[in-house]
């Protein structure tokens, strides 16, 4: 797939995006969920080797193809690794899956009800390396915890600022101002964030598009105007801590929104599984998430 083919697949592909980008402090938790406890490694390199083995097993699985999984988000170390002799991005492309790279370096401490992204001093080098490996786009996450208008305006502005930087590098930004699903003011957060996103979209030059990765809204259909917006290539949803059945039900209520799930995709996979068991479990999860992404129901 070349860049224009990847753009077309993201715009209209009948599937969802797998989030395989757990990093840093979330890696031990991801490994524990997979059945590998902390005593299985003694160095950071060994830990990252184990998580790469897990992701490689997912990518090479017969259940993991571009028919239903149209994209995958990678952690930098995963991108730098190989799967069966190919760079990880090229292994994905060979299966018809569009590769993305997580570029944020974690979150600042909370202020004004939000957690902004930490500085990214090596962003230009990371973008250049990623593009050279065939990566199509980026993903950058920040978090909204409460309905503070000043904080939400700042978080959306930062997302679009980084997004413009990514666009100038010739890549597609996937902006992720995540709303904490445990927030007591989720509905108000949805409304404030939506208004700020529209304000920033209006400021983009005509012909430019971004992708949006958002928490599933309290009120289904809240993001309908975004899915139809000419400056939005695709709206995708994170599971945000929901278990897969609930996440898929909520997803199915939002037309035009596809999944970009991590935990909800991987929650039933275990290291001791035989390849047949692993493929069956992963295939079942893929089928569930694909259905929620493509078969919509009335809210």
pLDDT along the chain (299 residues), means of 10: 94 95 80 90 90 94 96 94 96 97 95 97 96 98 97 98 97 98 95 98 96 96 95 95 92 96 92 96 97 91
Best CA proximity match to 23, nearest among 76, 59, 60? 76
pLDDT value of residue 24: 66
Give the CATH number, domain containing residue 11. Answer: 3.20.20.70
pLDDT value of residue 22: 76
Per the structure, the count of domains in the chain is 1
d(CA 181, CA 27): 21
d(CA 230, CA 232): 6
Whether the full predicted model's pTM is greater than 0.85, yes or no, is yes
Q: Residue 299: inside a domain, yes or no?
A: no
Determine contact, residues 102/117, Cβ cutoff 8 Å.
Answer: no
Strand ranges inside the chain, DSSP E: 16-20, 69-74, 82-83, 86-87, 98-102, 114-115, 137-144, 172-179, 210-215, 232-238, 257-261
Q: Residue 192: inside a domain, yes or no?
A: yes
Three-state secondary structure call for residue 54: helix
Domain containing 204 equals: 3-294
Three-state secondary structure call for residue 114: strand
Chain centroid offset of residue 36 CA: 23
Q: Residues, the chain, total? A: 299
* Helical ranges in 133-185 per DSSP H: 149-168
Q: Residue 270: inside a domain, yes or no?
A: yes
Three-state secondary structure call for residue 222: coil
Query: Which residues are catalytically annotated?
Result: 176, 213
Q: Residue 156: inside a domain, yes or no?
A: yes
d(CA 22, CA 29): 9
């Amino acid at each position: 797939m070349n860049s224009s083919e990847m753009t077309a697949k993201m715009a209209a592909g009948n599937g969802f995006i797998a989030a395989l980008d757990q990093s840093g402090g979330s890696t031990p938790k991801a490994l524990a969920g997979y059945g590998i406890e902390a005593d299985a490694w003694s160095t950071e390199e060994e830990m990252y080797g184990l998580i790469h083995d897990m992701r490689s097993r997912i990518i090479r699985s017969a259940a993991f193809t571009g028919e239903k999984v149209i994209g995958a988000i990678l952690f930098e170390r995963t991108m730098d690794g190989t799967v069966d002799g190919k760079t990880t991005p090229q292994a994905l492309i060979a299966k018809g899956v569009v590769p993305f790279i997580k570029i944020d370096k974690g979150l600042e401490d909370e202020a004004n009800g939000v957690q902004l992204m930490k500085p990214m001093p090596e962003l230009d080098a990371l973008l250049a390396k990623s593009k050279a490996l065939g990566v199509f786009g980026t993903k950058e996450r920040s978090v909204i915890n409460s309905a503070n208008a000043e904080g939400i305006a700042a978080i959306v502005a930062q997302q679009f600022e980084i997004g413009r930087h990514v666009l100038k590098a010739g890549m597609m930004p996937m902006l992720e101002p995540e709303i904490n699903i445990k927030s007591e003011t989720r509905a108000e957060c949805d409304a404030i964030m939506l208004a700020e996103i529209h304000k920033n979209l209006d400021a983009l030059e005509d012909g430019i598009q971004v992708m949006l990765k958002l928490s599933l809204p309290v009120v289904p259909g809240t993001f309908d105007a975004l899915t139809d917006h000419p400056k939005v290539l695709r709206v995708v949803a994170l599971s945000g801590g929901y278990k897969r059945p609930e996440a898929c039900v909520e997803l199915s209520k939002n037309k035009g929104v596809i999944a970009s799930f991590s935990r909800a995709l991987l929650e039933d996979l275990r290291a001791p599984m035989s390849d047949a068991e692993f493929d069956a479990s992963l295939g079942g999860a893929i089928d569930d998430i694909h259905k929620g992404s493509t078969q919509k129901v009335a809210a």
